[in-house]
């Protein structure tokens, strides 16, 4: 399976996956789901707040919306809530892709 | 019984004797305030925690045995690991660490039933404190409508806490909740304060993770059917957060707000104006000419009446802001604006304080408490007075009505509405420009992260809206009746005395104290097109912007009292100004008003929020200098263009 994903700074991020792929949350396209693998924000306070909002290892996330003006911030659904975060922070959260990109 | 905000400094003494204290704790958007309103009805008082500007809401609820229970509505918080001032206060009250505040005997945790996981994580955190607790699961109707089936018995058993289902906006479950609260309060009133709460420590990241693990375990036991996603919120968001449609909706909402302020509000405003006129006429006809009549008619009625006229507009603006907040749109606006705000170094969260500042800079500056980063917060406070607060409306309305023709239009807007929008826009533009300047100079630093919850859309609750507006109306009328009344009488006195000597020529106000002060500062304000009479009105206007209108009314009506065209003055101030001022002067005064920081309360609140005089002093200086420069440019510009 070969998937092309749009990324924040890099224009295109191409990877192939046989079973599971680990990518930054910022690279998860709208409509696709993933399971959070790690939350490694450099800023400890922000990292904790992410955890408190349910962005913890094992939570299922789905990117729901992108803001106008460059698609930043993004709105992700996690543990039943919709949370807006910036791409730069989302890039420090790694997710395991589970769902398919809907056509 | 008066155990409430006014005397909360003594409440720790009275409270233990008279009434038990319970505190509502929950995340933002969980409907905590709706529960507070449903429990206490109108028996509530709003004030501040001592020393900080965090809003303190306390109410009384009558128990089944006629016993009053005090209820505290704490600021919303996601956890006890506080990051903002609001959250700190919520945590410290719960832990019994706030001076002069009693530690609550009972916690009422409020969780949104449609968003259980975060809510229950907070419940687990609170439970560790060892304070008796009851959980109110709010918005149960919405959760049921979305197919959620929950075994509350198991939930209660697993949490070890009584659970009550509520729909606070419809006052459902309030009775059950009250019964639970009362039985939970049995015997705890005189229990010693919780030991665990005293030895509280921040939880580690591991503990946060563990709590979510525990939440998952509990939910797996008590959830019979999981909640369905909200098709409406998703569908609406696809439109509201859409790059093009979302921006258009945003613009439409803001335009609608301003158009409404000018069309809908004019009906009640005209009515109030007419009634004030009736009262003036009635009082005038009863009394013989003299100092007392002059004081009542020209001072008190002209001044306070002139300000009361703006009550409908101010309430309408607050109604918009409250409804946008309640419906969930406000968070979307912050989401949409984050990138743009980021360009000037602010974040999406600054948008809400700035938008609130359109009603009044004081709640706006107070709303900056939700901004976690200190620099972001300071920048927002510094530029908040540039957004057009409602106290400027009276001045804008007066001058626009007098100087801008009503029968012209620009696109769908009348020319008057367009000018108004322009004034609002220039305030916003300057606010953003200066934020960018400050963020690159005096307040440099890295950009912190944004974590913004976008709550499920819901219809604004009329009850919450009603209570919110009632509170604003009270504040405004109290202000009109105290500060504004006092300043108006002062202006009346300064402009009436000393009387002109017998047989002197010229206007009597020329001889008064006000005239002398106005003449003294005239050289200073002449370059921006103001004469001494504007100077007279600017002085009390420095204390509170809207007083300018009543001050002008006083200055001009007092001046004409012994003159020939008394009737014209009494008919309306606008036409008088139109006859006296050039368009350039009016435009210059408008420009001055867009920028100038003429509000002692703003300075006071900025001092409290920043905890020093340094920032408010800086604010006053830069805004005064900028206002002068802006007014100068506009005055010269209009003169150069030859408009009149």
pLDDT at residue B516 above 60? yes
Of A45, A51, A82, the CB nearest to B209: A51
H or E element at residue B29: none
Residues of chain A positioned with their CB less than 8 A from the CB of B209 = 51, 56-57
Residues of chain B positioned with their CB less than 8 A from the CB of A81 = 115, 117-118, 453
Of B115, B121, B451, the CB nearest to A49: B451
The shortest C-alpha distance from A38 to chain B (Å) reads: 12
Q: For the CA atoms of A91, A94, A96, A102, what is the dihedral angle to 10 degrees?
A: -20
B332-341, B371-380, B568-577: segment of lowest average pLDDT = B568-577
Those of residues 176-215 in B touching chain A at CB distance below 8 A are 205, 208-209, 212
CB within 8 Å: A51 and B372: no
Q: How far apart are CA A82 and CA A78, in angstroms?
A: 6
Listed in sequence order, the residues at least 6 apart from B179 whose beta carbon sits closer than 8 Å to its beta carbon are: B64
CA atoms within 13 A on the CB side of B318: 25
Among A35, A41, A75, A80, most B C-beta atoms within 10 A, so best to mutate, is A80
3-state secondary structure of A59: coil
pLDDT at residue B589 above 50? yes
Beta strands at B68-73 and B106-112: parallel, antiparallel or unpaired: unpaired
B33-47, B310-324, B496-510: segment of lowest average pLDDT = B496-510
Please write the tens of the pLDDT for every residue from B456-491: 898 888 888 888 888 778 877 776 777 777 877 887
Listed in sequence order, the residues at least 6 apart from B542 whose beta carbon sits closer than 8 Å to its beta carbon are: B598, B600
CB within 8 Å: A46 and B449: yes
- Which residue, B314, B491, B461, B338, is CA-closest to B397? B314
Across residues B607-634, what is the average pLDDT? 91
Encoded tokens for A84: 């807006």
To the nearest whole percent, how much of chain B has pLDDT over 70? 90
pLDDT at residue B626 above 90? yes
CB within 8 Å: A73 and B227: no
Q: How far apart are CA A33 and CA A61, in angstroms?
A: 6
pLDDT at residue B68 above 80? yes
Distances (CA, A) of B92 to A48, B101, B136, B518: 20, 10, 21, 51
Please write the tens of the pLDDT for every residue from B39-63: 998 788 877 777 676 778 899 998 8
Distances (CA, A) of A96 to A22, A24, B122, B184: 5, 9, 27, 45
- Which residue, A50, A60, A31, A36, is CA-closest to A89? A50
> pLDDT value at position B642?
78
Q: Please state the pTM of the whole predicted model.
A: 0.77
Q: Identify the band that residue A1 occupies on the pLDDT scale cut at 50, 70 and 90.
A: very low
Residues of chain A positioned with their CB less than 8 A from the CB of B339 = 67-70, 72-73
DSSP 8-state assignment for residue B287: S
Of B78, B334, B348, the CB nearest to A53: B78
Across residues B76-96, what is the average pLDDT? 89
> Which range among B139-148, B272-281, B339-348 has the greatest average pLDDT?
B139-148
Chain B touched by A46 (CB under 8 Å): yes
Longest dimension (CA), chain A: 38
Q: Is the ipTM of this complex over 0.85?
A: no
Nearest chain B residue to A64, by CA: B234
pLDDT at residue A7 above 50? no
Across residues B275-301, what is the average pLDDT? 82
pLDDT at residue B365 above 90? no
CB within 8 Å: A41 and B83: no
- State in Å, rounded, how far the first CA of chain B is from the last one: 61
Beta strands at B409-410 and B413-414: parallel, antiparallel or unpaired: antiparallel
Across residues B114-137, what is the average pLDDT? 92
Q: How far apart are CA B179 and CA B266, in angstroms?
A: 47
pLDDT at residue B532 above 80? yes
Beta strand spans in B33-118 (E): 44-48, 55-62, 68-73, 106-112
Q: Could you tell me if A2 and A16 are in contact, meaning their C-beta atoms sit under 8 angstroms apart?
A: yes
Please write the tens of the pLDDT for every residue from B401-457: 888 888 888 778 788 888 988 998 899 899 999 999 998 898 887 777 788 999 989
Of A52, A54, A73, the CB nearest to B335: A73
Chain B touched by A9 (CB under 8 Å): no
pLDDT at residue A102 above 50? no
Chain B touched by A66 (CB under 8 Å): yes
């Amino acid at each position: 399976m070969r998937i092309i994903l749009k990324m924040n700074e890099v224009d295109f991020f191409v990877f192939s996956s046989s079973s599971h792929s680990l990518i930054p949350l910022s690279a998860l396209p709208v409509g696709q789901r993933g399971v959070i693998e790690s939350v490694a924000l450099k800023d400890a306070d922000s990292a904790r707040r992410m955890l408190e909002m349910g962005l913890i290892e094992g939570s299922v996330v789905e990117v729901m919306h992108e803001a106008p003006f460059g698609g930043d911030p993004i709105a992700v659904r996690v543990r039943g809530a919709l949370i807006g975060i910036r791409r730069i922070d989302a890039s420090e959260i790694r997710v395991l892709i589970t769902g398919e990109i809907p056509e | 019984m008066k155990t409430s905000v006014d005397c909360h400094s003594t409440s720790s003494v009275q409270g233990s004797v008279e009434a038990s204290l319970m505190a509502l704790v929950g995340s933002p958007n969980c409907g905590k305030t709706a529960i507070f309103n449903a429990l206490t009805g109108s028996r509530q008082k709003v004030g501040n925690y001592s020393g900080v500007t965090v809003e303190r809401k306390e109410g009384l609820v009558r128990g089944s045995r006629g016993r009053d229970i005090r209820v505290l509505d704490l600021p919303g918080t996601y956890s006890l690991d506080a990051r903002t001032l609001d959250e700190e206060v919520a945590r410290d009250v719960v832990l019994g660490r706030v001076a002069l505040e009693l530690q609550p005997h009972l916690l009422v945790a409020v969780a949104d039933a449609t968003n259980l996981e975060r809510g229950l994580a907070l419940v687990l955190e609170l439970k560790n404190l060892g304070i008796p607790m009851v959980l109110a699961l709010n918005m149960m109707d919405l959760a049921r409508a979305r197919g959620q089936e929950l075994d509350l018995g198991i939930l209660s058993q697993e949490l070890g806490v009584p659970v009550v289902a509520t729909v606070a906006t419809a006052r459902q479950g309030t009775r059950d909740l009250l019964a639970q609260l009362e039985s939970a309060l049995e015997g705890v009133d005189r229990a010693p304060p919780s030991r665990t709460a005293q030895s509280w420590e921040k939880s580690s990241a591991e503990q946060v993770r563990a709590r979510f693990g525990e939440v998952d375990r509990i939910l797996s036991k008590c959830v019979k059917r999981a909640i369905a996603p909200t098709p409406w919120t998703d569908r609406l968001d696809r439109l509201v957060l859409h790059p093009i449609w979302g921006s258009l909706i945003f613009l439409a909402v803001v335009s609608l707000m301003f158009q409404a302020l000018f069309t809908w509000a004019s009906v009640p405003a005209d009515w109030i104006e007419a009634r004030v006129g009736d009262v003036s006429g009635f009082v005038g006809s009863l009394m013989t000419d003299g100092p007392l009549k002059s004081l009542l008619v020209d001072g008190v009625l002209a001044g306070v009446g002139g300000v009361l006229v703006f009550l409908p507009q101010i309430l309408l603006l607050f109604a918009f802001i409250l409804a946008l907040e309640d419906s969930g749109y406000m968070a979307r606006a912050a989401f949409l604006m984050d990138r743009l705000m980021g360009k000037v170094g602010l974040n999406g969260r600054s948008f809400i304080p700035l938008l609130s500042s359109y009603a009044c800079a004081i709640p706006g500056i107070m709303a900056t408490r939700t901004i976690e980063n200190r620099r972001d917060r300071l920048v927002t406070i510094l530029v908040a007075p540039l957004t057009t607060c409602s106290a400027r409306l009276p001045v804008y309305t007066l001058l626009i009505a007098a100087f801008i023709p009503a029968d012209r239009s620009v696109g769908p807007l009348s020319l008057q509405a367009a000018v108004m929008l322009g004034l609002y826009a220039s305030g916003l533009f300057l606010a953003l420009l200066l934020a960018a300047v400050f963020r690159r100079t005096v307040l440099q630093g890295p950009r912190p992260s944004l974590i913004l919850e976008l709550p499920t859309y819901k219809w604004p609750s009329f009850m919450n809206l009603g209570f919110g507006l009632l509170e604003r109306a009270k504040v405004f009328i109290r202000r009109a009746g105290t500060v504004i009344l006092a300043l108006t009488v002062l202006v009346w006195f300064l402009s009436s005395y000393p009387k002109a000597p017998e047989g002197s020529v010229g206007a009597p106000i020329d001889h008064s104290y006000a005239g002398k002060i106005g003449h003294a500062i005239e050289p200073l304000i002449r370059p921006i097109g103001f004469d001494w009479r504007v100077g007279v009105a600017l002085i009390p206007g420095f204390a509170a912007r809207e007083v300018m209108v009543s001050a002008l009314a006083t200055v001009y009506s007092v001046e004409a009292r012994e003159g020939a065209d008394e009737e014209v003055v009494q008919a309306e101030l606008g036409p008088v100004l139109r006859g006296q001022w050039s368009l350039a002067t009016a435009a210059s005064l408008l420009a001055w008003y867009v920028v100038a920081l003429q509000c002692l309360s703003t300075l006071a609140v900025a001092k409290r929020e920043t905890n020093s005089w340094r920032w408010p002093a800086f604010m006053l200086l830069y805004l005064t200098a900028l206002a002068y420069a802006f007014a100068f440019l506009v005055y010269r510009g209009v003169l150069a263009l030859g408009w009149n």
